[in-house]
Chain A
Amino acid sequence: DTGVSQDPRHKITKRGQNVTFRCDPISEHNRLYWYRQTLGQGPEFLTYFQNEAQLEKSRLLSDRFSAERPKGSFSTLEIQRTEQGDSAMYLCASSLDRAGVTEAFFGQGTRLTVV
């Protein structure tokens, strides 16, 4: 296990379709985060999990977005009824919840294009 893995790397979808992305964190990491990055901007926090519990959701996460981490390992992010404004890079990161741990590690991202 060499890092955070995301799948797919690229996704093109038609407006109105549903899409699902997967993130596999570093195996011993119990915290997992989703970010969204649009062109020319920094990543924006969407949500995070500690084990299987979703502990925080940003107001950016509309009701068309849902994230799960069913067994506290991999996570999925689903977008229903996609809109052109959903086009972005979706980044996943993971970290270990332990005193003295100072950073999270990012995956390669899934680039979504809604046409």
Chain B
Amino acid sequence: ELKVEQNPLFLSMQEGKNYTIYCNYSTTSDRLYWYRQDPGKSLESLFVLLSNGAVKQEGRLMASLDTKARLSTLHITAAVHDLSATYFCAVVGVNTNAGKSTFGDGTTLTVKP
């Protein structure tokens, strides 16, 4: 059974600082996703990572994937208040269709001035 573990679960950081969220998963995977969720809202897709060594960047967020270590990271650079949200990683097992993901429990990020 595929398990996905994120840490930390809660993160409070000051504006302008850098930090990394970690996502570990238990079995071989085809794909890994990062989502953002604002309170009471649905999931917004941030990144899709498909291969070992994949790195994607959008604004102040950068995601990477190490399939050998079964680890993905979401790095936040110079945080701003607008990044406050809950971030989920989700993993799709090998030969599993794109929509059947196993999610971590999320990292709730609060960026303080």
A102→B98 contact, CB < 8 A = yes
**A95 adjacent to B97 (CB under 8 Å):** yes
Q: Check: B77 CB closer than 8 A to any chain A CB.
A: no
Cα distance, A91 to B101, chains bound together (Å): 13
Name the residue on B nearest A108 (C-beta).
B42
Binary CB contact string for chain B from 42 to 82 against chain A (1 if under 8 A, 0 otherwise): 11010010100000000000000000000000000000000
- The answer to whether B42 and A106 have CB atoms under 8 Å apart is yes
Chain B contacts of A41 at CB under 8 A?
105-106
Which residues 76-113 in B have Cβ within 8 Å of A in the complex?
88, 90, 97-106
Q: How many residues of A are in contact with the other chain, CB < 8 A? A: 26
Complex CA–CA separation, A94 to B43 (angstroms): 13
Residue ID in chain A nearest B88 by CB atoms: A42
A-binding residues in B (CB < 8 A): 4, 31, 33, 40-43, 45, 48, 50, 88, 90, 97-106
Interface residues of A (CB under 8 A from B): 31-33, 40-45, 48, 56, 91, 93-95, 97, 101-109, 111
